[in-house]
Structure 1
Amino acid sequence: MTLPGLDLGKLREYLGSGELTAEVIAGGKSNLTYLVREGDRTFVLRRPPLGHVLSTAHDMAREYRVLTALAPTAVPVPRTLRLCTDPDVLGAPFYLMEHVDGVVYRSARQTAQLGAERARTLAFTLIDVLADLHDVDPGAVGLSDFGRPDGFMARQVRRWKSQLDASRSRDLPGAQELHDRLAASVPAPAGAGVVHGDYRLDNVIVGTDGRVAAVLDWEMATLGDPLADLGLLLVYWDGLTEFAGSMVSTAIHPDAGFPTGREMAARYAERRGADLSTLDWYVAFGYFKLAVIAEGIHYRYTKGQTVGAGFDHIGELVPPLLARGHATLE
């Protein structure tokens, strides 16, 4: 079987392994993730998307480095196995990591089976893991040079506007205005630490005990302002429910018994003693960032450079995300 982006013959030659089989792991809309099997052994391979790749995005070496660095901390991550930076093997750098057993909750149909008590336990475990991540001392795990915390949010606003400009092929009313409003009101930083960059429920594996067994998708990790992670999580948490089942799939639905975003933020503040007085700005930035990511995926979809299903309506999500960003700043 031939999979886009994965030549099993070349991978087998590189690894010196036996016969390999593989399948695309569904859910990701950016980097490509495959479950690879060699007999009874399974592992996961991550590589950049096909075609259009933005500058500084989809850096496999950075993703591999942060996973390896966090292994001895309280943050649950898959064990890294091998990094390949030679693009001649699969056409792009890639890395291998262990396969972690568990469930990735991507839909309300899945989480509806949890029940209110388990849903709340999972939610607060998710926020506790985020607090654990932000409590990690970057220097203690060899990540002191992993990013530049000074001026982080101002650069983030500029960066995501540049990403939008590089991936846009249509008019997007309100996009420039939201960028300008964010740029003019960047708050003082709420500290510095390792930030995930896309922390949400469907980027973690949940174990049989109902707690987070592994945090995935570290492609945007860096050193910066921790509230960037919290703001984006709250966008995913209760900012997308009105689009569920149409333009986006979300596992967070009030009927499942999950706590509200406000309760999640309060839990985070309690865990870290964090001042959340400027949190609305970070939530608005989260809407802007997610709009840019969705537009980039839409761009690749229009070019025929996506792998898997679920991309045909992603572009419809961008205008309402921009509108939500404006509304949050109000």
Structure 2
Amino acid sequence: MTMQTAPDGVEVVATAEDAASLASPPLLVIETVTAFLDEHGLGSGPLAWERIGDGQSNITYRISRGGQVLVLRRGPRPPLPRSTHDMVREARIQRLLRTEGIPVPEVVAVCEDESLLGVPFYVMSYLDGVVITDTVPTHLDPVEQRDATSRAVVETLTQLHRVDVTTADLAGLGRPDGYLERQVARFAQLWEANTTRELPQVAALATWLEQNRPRTQAAAVVHGDYRIGNLMFADRAPATVVGILDWEMATLGDPLADLGYLAATYSDPGSEPTIMELTPVTRQPGYWTRQQLVDHYAQRSGLDVTALPWYQALALWKSAIFCEAIYTRWLHGERPGDDFSPTLEAGVPRLLQQSQEHAQQL
């Protein structure tokens, strides 16, 4: 095979020798991955690959080999903060949750050896299903299936939040006490480290979030990026979630942080769009409104959602800071050919404004 390129460098090479000749490491080395799969008895023969997902953070590949289909997930090219791209931890979380009956892919192999691809990675089973983004799969398009899709989104979240986090294995995933306080402090520091411009609203919102922090009612596994686009649905009706994807932000904390993020980024017919709305189809008739999602979650979880605007403000404030880091990398020439990053010049201030609008609801 020839070298395959991406906007930020060579993406896939055939051999380790090819990789060694590059100034920046590739994302996949075919002979290296093949040897790793051989070692774990995963497929046989030549390997075919396809990149899947939007790849804004960690990177995912569909791997086909000898009739077996797998998924390889790895972090971006180093150097990057390990805390946000810990593949070993991400695989461990999924393994633990799978034993609790949570719909996640089966992790079949984990590589902690950074010498293979430059970063740790893991391999998981391939889920046969669909992800809803800007189009609706035919089998989920009838009005009753749109209703069922909305219900499944909320009930899968409540299922996750009911997992007992006091067991020895799960308790080691994080410290739920002080989660909200740490979130505000950590992202305020990330802003200072990742911006090149002055946006006073960031600090003002950080102060407001700290001064108005609600009492955490329960401890739960928090996904950290729970939205429809990170759910895989069965490829036939009725609407059923067969997999929750992208666990890189998961920890133990306040479950309403997930609900706040879901609600704040949800495409609702009555709200102005944000750059974080990645599944715009829910503006169409038949899908639940944002308020219906929140009400059903409150009913199923038994939690008081009165303070939800605080969590929505937190979600969009954090999103603005994360997006600012992407924008700064683009300004520094680290994301050439990227059409999304330039929109963040105006997109980040708009996220901060929308965060402020949620804050004003309390």
Fold shared by both chains (TM-score > 0.5) = yes
Computing the radius of gyration from Cα coordinates, the structure with the larger value is: 2
User: How far does residue 291 in structure 1 lie from its aligned partner after superposition?
Assistant: 1.2
Structure 1 residue matching 2:170: 3-state secondary structure: coil
Correspondence for 2:306: 277
Structure 2 residue matching 1:29: 3-state secondary structure: coil
Structure 2 residue matching 1:105: 3-state secondary structure: coil
Q: How does 1:127-276 map to 2 (within 5 A)?
A: 127-140=154-167, 142-207=169-234, 208-209=236-237, 210-238=239-267, 242-243=272-273, 249-276=278-305
**CA offsets 1:86-145 (integer angstroms, 9 cap, x no match):** 1110010111111101111121x3369713321121111011010000000023472111
Aligned partner of 1:27 among 46, 50, 54? 54
Structure 1 residue matching 2:243: 3-state secondary structure: strand
Q: Distance in 1 between matches of 2:149 and 2:285?
A: 12
CA pair 168-51 structure 1, distance change in 2 beyond 3 A = farther
**CA offsets 1:158-179 (integer angstroms, 9 cap, x no match):** 1112222222233334112111
Correspondence for 1:318: 348
Q: How does 1:41-52 map to 2 (within 5 A)?
A: 41-51=68-78
Q: Distance in 1 between matches of 2:268 and 2:337?
A: 25
Structure 1 residue matching 2:280: 3-state secondary structure: coil
Does structure 1 conserve the Cα–Cα contact (< 8 Å) formed by 2:109 and 2:123?
A: yes
CA pair 111-102 structure 1, distance change in 2 beyond 3 A = closer
Correspondence for 2:136: 110
Structure 2 residue matching 1:138: 3-state secondary structure: coil
**CA offsets 1:273-301 (integer angstroms, 9 cap, x no match):** 11111111011101111112222232334
TM-score computed with the length of structure 2 as normaliser: 0.84
Aligned partner of 1:100 among 127, 150, 167? 127
**CA offsets 1:245-300 (integer angstroms, 9 cap, x no match):** x8864334322421111110111111111111111101110111111222223233
Q: Distance in 1 between matches of 2:108 and 2:300?
A: 32
Return the letter of the residue paired with 1:276.
V
Report the count of equivalent residues.
328
Correspondence for 1:287: 316
Correspondence for 1:5: 27
**CA offsets 1:193-228 (integer angstroms, 9 cap, x no match):** 111010000001111232111000000100000000
Q: How does 1:18-97 map to 2 (within 5 A)?
A: 18-51=45-78, 53-54=80-81, 56-97=83-124
Q: Distance in 2 between matches of 1:94 and 1:133?
A: 24
Return the letter of the residue paired with 2:147.
R
Does structure 1 conserve the Cα–Cα contact (< 8 Å) formed by 2:232 and 2:244?
A: yes
**CA offsets 1:28-49 (integer angstroms, 9 cap, x no match):** 4211111111121111111112
Q: Distance in 2 between matches of 1:49 and 1:257?
A: 38
Percent identity over paired residues: 36
Q: Distance in 1 between matches of 2:338 and 2:61?
A: 15
Structure 1 residue matching 2:356: 3-state secondary structure: helix
CA pair 248-305 structure 1, distance change in 2 beyond 3 A = farther
Q: Distance in 1 between matches of 2:317 and 2:268?
A: 12
Q: Which has the higher contact order (CA 8 A, sep 6+)?
A: 1
Does structure 1 conserve the Cα–Cα contact (< 8 Å) formed by 2:267 and 2:279?
A: no
Q: Distance in 1 between matches of 2:354 and 2:257?
A: 17
